[in-house]
Amino acid sequence: MSDNKVQNVDLPKGYQLYLFDELPSTNDHLKELADSGYAHKSIVCARSQSKGKGRLGRSWVSAKGNLFISYLFRPDVTLEKAGELSFVASLAVANVLSKFTDKVACKWPNDILINRKKVSGVLLETKLNGENNLEYIVMGIGINLRTNPTDTPYQATNLNDELGGKFNTDLLKIIELLTNEIETVYTIWNNESLSSILDNLRRYMIGIGEKIEIRRPTGNDKGILLNITDKGLLVLEKTNGEIEEISVGDVFWQ
C-alpha cells in the first residue's frame, strides 16, 4: 500500500494522497481503507476506474485522462449535517474550474457544468457508528478533464474541449488545486455553517426561475424552480400550483 503513497505533491496540512493506476471505484477503495483505520483527510485517486459509480446506483464513465478522486473525512457531526458536504464539494470544484473558464455553473444538487453541459459530479457515501453518529464520509468527485461520454441523458462535456484543446495541466497539479480549494471550503463549513457555502454556490447556480422537469425515483414532476433553500433543498412550484421542497432528483431544462 505504501507504494501508492505520493510524497511529491503540495497538499494542505493533514492530507495524504494515495494514487493508483486503476481501481474499480476510488470511493469503494477509500471506504475499505477507512474501515481499516485510515486517517481523516486521506485521499484516493485513480487514473481510471473500471466500475465508477454515480448516485442512485448509476455508473460513472471513467476513462483514463479524467480525474477520479475521493476524500475521507471524519467530522463529528450527524448524518444530516454530513450530507451538506456535497455542497462543499460542488463549490470547490466550481471554484477550481473557474480558474480555467468563466463558463462554469452548478445545476442542483451537485452537477458542475461548463456551457450548461455536465463536466463533473459528486458522490457522497457515509458509514454510521450507532444510530445517527457518523463514523466517516467519503466524498467522491469525478471531473471530465479530457473525454466525456456522448450518450448520456443530460449532455456531458470535458474541460479540454471547452478550452479549445488547450488544457495541459498535469494530474498532480489539478489535485493540488482541488485539495486546496476543498480545504478552504471545508474549513468554512466546519467553522461557520452551510449558509455561507450556499451563498457562494448560488453565484454559480443556474435554472432559478426557469421551467424544469425534476426526475426522481418516486416519479417525475414539472414546474418552476423557485429557489434553493438554506438547507440546500430545491423549491419547485408544480404546474398545479403546489409548492414542494425536494431533496433528491435530477433537473432537466424544459
Nearer residue to ligand BT5 within complex by CB, 55 or 237: 55
The backbone torsions φ and ψ at residue 125, rounded to the nearest 5 degrees and listed phi first, read -135, 140
Strands (E), the chain: 5-6, 16-23, 42-49, 67-73, 104-107, 111-114, 117-128, 134-143, 211-216, 219-228, 234-238, 243-246, 250-253
Residue 211 contacts ligand BT5 per CB under 6 A? no
Residue 153 contacts ligand BT5 per CB under 6 A? yes
Residue 42 contacts ligand BT5 per CB under 6 A? no
**How many other C-beta atoms lie within 10 A of the C-beta of residue 51?**
11
C-alpha radius of gyration, the chain, whole number: 18
Residue 144 contacts ligand BT5 per CB under 6 A? yes
Query: What is the rounded distance in angstroms from the CA atom of residue 207 to the CA atom of residue 252?
Result: 9
Q: How many residues form the binding site for ligand BT5 (CB under 6 A)?
A: 28
Residue 142 contacts ligand BT5 per CB under 6 A? yes
**Cβ(34)–Cβ(136) under 8 Å?**
yes
Q: Which of 38, 52, 134, 204 binds ligand BT5 (CB under 6 A)?
A: 52
CB of 118 to ligand BT5, least distance (A): 4
Residue 243 contacts ligand BT5 per CB under 6 A? no
| Side-chain-facing half-sphere of 241: CA atoms under 13 Å | 0
Query: What is the rounded distance in angstroms from the CA atom of residue 20 to the CA atom of residue 177?
Result: 19
Residue 248 contacts ligand BT5 per CB under 6 A? no
- Contact characters 101-140, ligand BT5, x per CB under 6 A: -----------------x--xxx----------------x
Question: What is the contact surface with ligand BT5 in residues (CB under 6 A)?
Answer: 25-27, 49, 52-56, 58, 60-61, 68-70, 118, 121-123, 140-142, 144, 148-149, 152-153, 156
